[in-house]
Amino acid sequence: MRITEATDAFARHLTDVRRLSPATVRAYRSDLADLADSVGDAPLDEIDLEHLREWLWRATKRGDARSTLARRTAAARGFFTWASESGLIAADPSLRLVAPKRGTTLPRVATADALGAVLDSLQQTAAEGDPVALRDHALLETLYGAGIRVAELCGLDLDDLDHARRTARVTGKGSKERVVPFGAPAAVALDAYLVRGRPALLARGDDPTGERALFLGARGRRLGPRAAYDVVSRTLGPVVGSAVGPHALRHSAATHLLDGGADLRTVQEILGHASLGTTQIYTHVSSERLAATYRLAHPRA
């Protein structure tokens, strides 16, 4: 059997057994297609460690990011481990395949004052009653207020909100559910959107009675991550940078929570990180800010 022939079965394994997100499965499919092209789609039992190292070396030479190389290594390891356990190959050639070390890149964040100004401006625009403006204000307030991922936001249904407790039930990576709080500004924005914005957007759809999604697109259907990214990039880009997306709001929320005195475990629970180590990067962001303030303010810095 060849890589291209086994990819569909491996993708089902990733989805049904390992419960990986659709985005991760698509990325792994792309990685395996690239590997198949590199080895000429040779039979699985003819691929050895040197083939895999050559594949990664080519990716390095064409300038792939370290994070991409690390993911490709993980894709190859996962694929050949699965193939070995499934009896498709006698030995796993990826056992000694080493992933390149990732560089430490601090997440891009906006200051609390800058975000406050952006959100206040959105609130003023939404007050005019345009349904898309009402949605955009509620969308950014929810992303920042709850610190959730864009896929989690787009997956929210009406029943996932608890208005009395100001919490949302979100489904994160690996189909794991968690309940996250959101603040009063997000609650106000959501209420305005649900009363005046969402019904107008819903009326534009084909089936106004069947759509349960919280956030809707301009045609009355569930808002997709790409459209949400465009909203955030258009609104927040001038504040943080031209390439900013919804994750910048998540990074900002985590950093501002730590700056405000929240403990690391609490932030981990809110963000839905499986490992505390993933959350710890935000302590570096806060430390950088602390050091910058010290250098500017202390006479002996």
Active site residues: 149, 173, 247, 250, 273, 282
What does the block give as tokens for 86?
Answer: 């499934």
CA quadruple 150, 152, 155, 159: dihedral sign: negative
With beta carbons less than 8 A apart as the criterion, state whether 73 and 100 touch: yes
Cα radius of gyration (the chain): 23
Residue the block writes with tokens 């959501």: 190
DSSP per-residue letters across 215-280: SB-TTSSBPPHHHHHHHHHHHHHHHH-TT--HHHHHHHHHHHHHHTT--HHHHHHHHT-SSHHHHT
Q: To 10 degrees, the CA torsion angle through 138, 140, 144, 150? A: 110
With beta carbons less than 8 A apart as the criterion, state whether 6 and 47 touch: no
